[in-house]
Structure 1
Amino acid sequence: MNVVKLLMHSFVTRLIIVSALLVGVAPETLGQTVPDTLAQRLKACTSCHGAQGRASTDGYYPRIAGKPQGYLLNQLKNFREGRRTFPMMNYMVGHLGDDYLIEISRYFADLHPPYAAPQRLDLAPELLERGRLLVLNGDEQRRIPACIHCHGKQMTGLAPFIPGIAGLPRDYLIAQLGAWQTGSRHAASPDCMQTISRQLSPQDVSAVSGWLSQQVIPDQGIAPQMPADAVPHLPLHCGSVPGS
């Protein structure tokens, strides 16, 4: 069996196992005796996203623990409806109803395990400074708003819809900004992140992702809650944030 076939076999095997856990297949089907609880089913998620959703160690799968529930729910729906594409995620949530997705998003939003230390990266000081300026100040001339205008001064997000971005793996940040630029990732219209991402040059993406990945998470990264009757003042209208 060649390398490609081995990789495909491994992927398919893992997909079957995690999908079976998520939909609650009888334990006998997998040859194991396990409780049919939500935590057990969501091992389908933590097999990639790390224990308690803390993030993987490979620098790609992001932390989902403690992210705002509205944001997590939006992303699950985006995967289910094809606005985001990643085969395992699309397959796993493709036939799950809204009630189940709400339950999943609430479960991970309520978890707040400690954050890992930032990745150790050897990045040029001038690259990090460029990233810092874009995150904190933006670039008005190129219509690039500062990241902190939406994601908060401490970059921990704003519940229930806006996620924290500080300390995310650099590879993940690069991949997601690239996906918005190419149109392989979408959000509800108007898609503000796609609009912003397409204003960024490759050097900007490298700088922003590098600087963000080096930031220490303050106060366990818990996003402050937006008052229920508040209207968020964002630099762009965002379909994922009602009322923006």
Structure 2
Amino acid sequence: MPAQKKFTAAALLLSLAGLSSLCGPALAQPAATPQDTMAQRMQACTVCHGKEGRASNSGYFPRIAGKPAGYLFHQLLNFRDGRRHNVAMNHLVEHLSDDYLREIAGYFAALELPYPPGQPSTAPGPLLARGEQLVRKGDASLSVPACVACHGERMTGALPTIPGLLGLPRDYLIGQMGAWRTGLRRAHAPDCMSAIAKRLSASDVAAVATWLSAQTPPVDTRPAASIQRPLPLECGSDVQP
């Protein structure tokens, strides 16, 4: 081998030896254990439901942070078992066990985060008045109970399974009432919300959704510890999860 090639080869070997001595201790250390918290696992949910599941007062996606764990668990089951239909949600939960769905529900239920302000509304006065009437008093002529009879005087829901209705966008509320009317959204029989939705006209649905979405949430947005039972209508979803 010519002298120049010998020198080049020797220099390369020495360089590799030096790198090995420098990198060896670092390479010998075990790889850092990746973090695996529920917050990290649930980042897929925040793409639609907003940071930490708190959502916003616009758009279509609902807030899930702070909702009763029993309610969230039932909805995850409904998506998994085909009683609710949303391509993304059905796909995300189709292979998850009851125990893991319960863990997800408990994680989001425990988050106490600020609510967004109500949506600005330019709706006419009579529409808002009709919405408030249905929410606070119902309509006996339609056999529609007041929303507050189930969802609480502060409309923040009640443990263990009744959701709050404040902080939800108008479009989402209208969409869900429409889904109950058409059977796209279902709950365990007797499905009380389906019955109520079918008794309301499209105008009444718009009135309720518009009034609710415009409300400023109370200081304490936590679900009530309990609510007077029996409820005005028998609800198959009002059971301990």
Shared fold (TM-score, shorter chain, > 0.5): yes
Q: Distance in 2 between matches of 1:102 and 1:154?
A: 26
Once the two structures are TM-superposed, the CA of residue 58 in structure 1 deviates from its matched residue by: 4.5
Query: Could you tell me the TM-score, scaled by structure 1's length?
Result: 0.82
Alpha carbons of 1:161 and 1:82: their partners in 2 closer, same or farther (altered >3 Å)?
Answer: same
Question: Which residues of structure 1 form unaligned runs of 5+?
Answer: 1-32
Contact 2:52 2:65 in 1 (8 A): yes
Corresponding letter in the other structure for 1:235: P
Q: Could you say which residue in structure 1 is the equivalent of 2:79?
A: 79
Q: SS at the partner of 2:186?
A: coil
Identity of paired residues, percent? 54
Contact 1:112 1:220 in 2 (8 A): no
Q: Could you say which residue in structure 2 is the equivalent of 1:145?
A: 145
Once the two structures are TM-superposed, the CA of residue 57 in structure 1 deviates from its matched residue by: 6.0
Once the two structures are TM-superposed, the CA of residue 216 in structure 1 deviates from its matched residue by: 1.1
Alpha carbons of 1:74 and 1:182: their partners in 2 closer, same or farther (altered >3 Å)?
Answer: same
Contact 2:57 2:116 in 1 (8 A): no
Once the two structures are TM-superposed, the CA of residue 83 in structure 1 deviates from its matched residue by: 0.2
Q: Distance in 1 between matches of 2:207 and 2:34?
A: 45
Q: Which runs of 4+ in 1 moved over 6 A?
A: none
Q: Distance in 1 between matches of 2:221 and 2:179?
A: 25
- Note the 1:213-224 alignment, pairs <5 A: 213-224=213-224
Q: Could you say which residue in structure 2 is the equivalent of 1:238?
A: 235
Q: Could you say which residue in structure 1 is the equivalent of 2:30?
A: none
Once the two structures are TM-superposed, the CA of residue 114 in structure 1 deviates from its matched residue by: 0.6
Contact 2:57 2:119 in 1 (8 A): no
CA shift digits 1:22-75 (9 cap, x unpaired): xxxxxxxxxxx9633211110011111001110146421010000000000000
Once the two structures are TM-superposed, the CA of residue 110 in structure 1 deviates from its matched residue by: 0.3
Once the two structures are TM-superposed, the CA of residue 226 in structure 1 deviates from its matched residue by: 2.3
Q: SS at the partner of 1:96?
A: coil
Q: Distance in 2 between matches of 1:137 and 1:220?
A: 23
Once the two structures are TM-superposed, the CA of residue 81 in structure 1 deviates from its matched residue by: 0.3
Q: Could you say which residue in structure 2 is the equivalent of 1:200?
A: 200
Corresponding letter in the other structure for 1:35: Q
Corresponding letter in the other structure for 1:74: H
Q: Distance in 1 between matches of 2:125 and 2:57?
A: 25
Q: Could you say which residue in structure 2 is the equivalent of 1:17?
A: none
Q: SS at the partner of 1:77?
A: helix
Q: SS at the partner of 1:221?
A: coil
Root-mean-square deviation (CA, aligned residues, Å) is 1.6
Contact 1:85 1:185 in 2 (8 A): yes
Q: Could you say which residue in structure 2 is the equivalent of 1:9?
A: none
Corresponding letter in the other structure for 1:141: S
Once the two structures are TM-superposed, the CA of residue 220 in structure 1 deviates from its matched residue by: 3.6
Contact 1:48 1:56 in 2 (8 A): no
Q: SS at the partner of 2:219?
A: helix
Question: Which residues of structure 2 form unaligned runs of 5+?
Answer: 1-32
